[in-house]
Amino acid sequence: MDLETTPLATRMRPERIDDILGQDHILGPSKALRRSLETGNLFSIIFWGPPGSGKTTIARLMAKYSDCPFESFSAVLSGVKELRATIASAKKTSGYQSKPTILFVDEIHRFNKAQQDAFLPHVESGLLILIGATTQNPSFEVIPPLLSRTRVMAIKPLENKDMAIILNRALKDKKRGLGDLNIEIEKDALQYIINISHGDARTALNNLESASYFVQPDKSDKRILGTATVALALNRRPLPYDKDGEEHYNLISALHKSMRGSDPQASIYWLYRMLEAGEDPLFIGRRLIRFASEDIGLASPMALEVALTAYQAWERVGPPEAELSLAQAVVYLATAPKSNALYVAERSVKKEIEESGPQPVPLYLRNAPTKLMRQIGYGKGYMYPHDYPQSRVKQEYLPEKMRGKVFYRPSDTAFEKEIKRRMVEQKKIDD
């Protein structure tokens, strides 16, 4: 490896299992993949996770630990022709080494059905150990016959603490990293690089390298990296933002209130203000999910599904593609009909429980799985609604001391108007 021309992200690839961060769920002690690496008993895998989370690194370590031949190509640049050449090479190698070839296929989801079919006989025969990497859900992007011959392992996005360890390793490592540059990085600058890299270690290391060579040594031969310097080196303009401070809460409040006020223009502005400043997109996603129930609720039941889908899109795809998924959700939520009836009901019922305490469940609503329970009256008198017209029957469901309490009052907005109609019909039966 030519250290002068090789990118920092490539030079700093972990060389041992224990150096890989954030993937203890598959590489921790006693986990299947960990044991596979330690024993050399390998199996075909589809790694599913966001960019820069370690999929390629783990594949290379599998080859290193097993001492198997390793071939790698990208589904973007290669096709069946290149695959045939790789298979021919694997057959030659197998003839004199008696070892399978590890074939790493990056972005395997980009292969069509016919191309994916080409792997099957060679994976089944043991000639190839297929390691596929994808940012897309394999259930939808990989053909079932190939899925049945591989194990799917989810690779998690790297957390900020893991990113900090990776960057500090690169700053200190004099052999493969930037240790000889005598870099001193300010805490805020390090956090800024982490924030704008969105859990992608490759991007973070590339950003650190660019900033490190951009800044010139001072009189004491130190390279001082501050937030402004890093932003200038990366041709970005840092926005004032403190993820744990007032600005964090100011911006999320502005987004929430803009959506509540049904203003899609302001809503999308505040969304991108946070994203551009390095806010955790999953934090925004969680707030959208809360908003869908708190400010829209059953006025538009699809709102919750839209918010959840946007959250999952970020988990599965990541930046930059999934940014637009968050924007789609924000605009939908901002323009959806509004109702806080569920939020009011939540506060009301919590207050009631606090004041009235744990009221007993009426005997006829209790389950009666044993003879003794039936003898003392559990379940006695319960009326099964499906035995009555329209599956409705007059029956009390609240504890005795709370009869007549009303927590949820649907509005006359959108779908809640239909819910209100249904509740009125049931009340007529009860009356």
Whole-angstrom distance, CA of residue 143 vs CA of residue 148: 9
Looking up tokens 């920092």 gives 8
Query: What is residue 40's predicted lDDT score, i.e. its pLDDT?
Result: 79
Give 185-196 as a DSSP string. Answer: E-HHHHHHHHHH
From its phi and psi, is residue 15 left (phi > 0), alpha (psi between -120 and 50) or beta? Answer: alpha
Q: What is the DSSP letter of 278?
A: T
The per-residue pLDDT for range 21-77, each reduced to its tens digit, is 989 999 988 888 998 888 878 899 999 988 888 999 998 888 888 888 888 887 777
Question: For residue 243, is pLDDT > 60?
Answer: no
Instruction: Record the tokens describing residue 366, joined without a space.
Output: 């209790």
CA–CA distances in Å: residue 299 to residues 255, 330, 336: 20, 16, 8
Confidence of residue 269 (pLDDT cuts 50, 70, 90): very high
Whole-angstrom distance, CA of residue 96 vs CA of residue 92: 7
SS3 assignment, position 72:
strand
Instruction: Record the tokens describing residue 168, joined without a space.
Output: 């500090």
SS3 assignment, position 304:
helix
Domain ranges of the chain: 22-154, 160-233, 246-335, 361-430
Give the burial string for 297-309 (b: 16+ CB within 10 Å, else e). bbbbeebbebbee
CATH topology identical between 246-335 and 361-430: no
In contact, 115 and 80? CB cutoff 8 Å? yes
Per-chain mean pLDDT for the chain? 86
Whole-angstrom distance, CA of residue 117 vs CA of residue 140: 15
Question: For residue 279, is pLDDT > 90?
Answer: no
Whole-angstrom distance, CA of residue 127 vs CA of residue 232: 50
Question: What residues pair up with 128 in beta bridges, in sequence order?
Answer: 101
φ, ψ dihedrals at 264, nearest 5°: -70, -30
Tell me the fold of 22-154: Rossmann fold (3.40.50)
Calculate ∠ Cα 367-370-374, nearest 5°: 70
Q: What one-letter code names the amino acid at 191?
A: Q
The per-residue pLDDT for range 85-112, each reduced to its tens digit, is 888 888 877 666 678 888 898 888 888 8
CA–CA distances in Å: residue 205 to residues 55, 163, 316: 16, 9, 22
Whole-angstrom distance, CA of residue 14 vs CA of residue 16: 6
The per-residue pLDDT for range 101-156, each reduced to its tens digit, is 888 988 888 888 888 888 898 888 888 899 999 988 888 888 999 999 999 999 98
Instruction: Record the tokens describing residue 139, joined without a space.
Output: 């259930």
The structural architecture, per CATH, of the domain 160-233 is Orthogonal Bundle (1.10)
CATH 1.20.272.10 assigned to 246-335: yes
Whole-angstrom distance, CA of residue 418 vs CA of residue 416: 5
Query: What is residue 258's predicted lDDT score, i.e. its pLDDT?
Result: 93
Instruction: Record the tokens describing residue 408, joined without a space.
Output: 């949820």
Instruction: State in Å, rounded, how far the first CA of the chain is from the last one.
Output: 83
**CB neighbours (10 Å) of residue 289?**
19
CATH code of the region 361-430: 1.10.3710
Helices marked H in 198-280: 201-214, 227-233, 246-260, 264-277
Whole-angstrom distance, CA of residue 347 vs CA of residue 294: 11
Contacts of 391 (CB under 8 A, 6+ apart): 385
Query: What is residue 237's predicted lDDT score, i.e. its pLDDT?
Result: 59
In contact, 411 and 341? CB cutoff 8 Å? yes
The model carries a pTM of 0.58
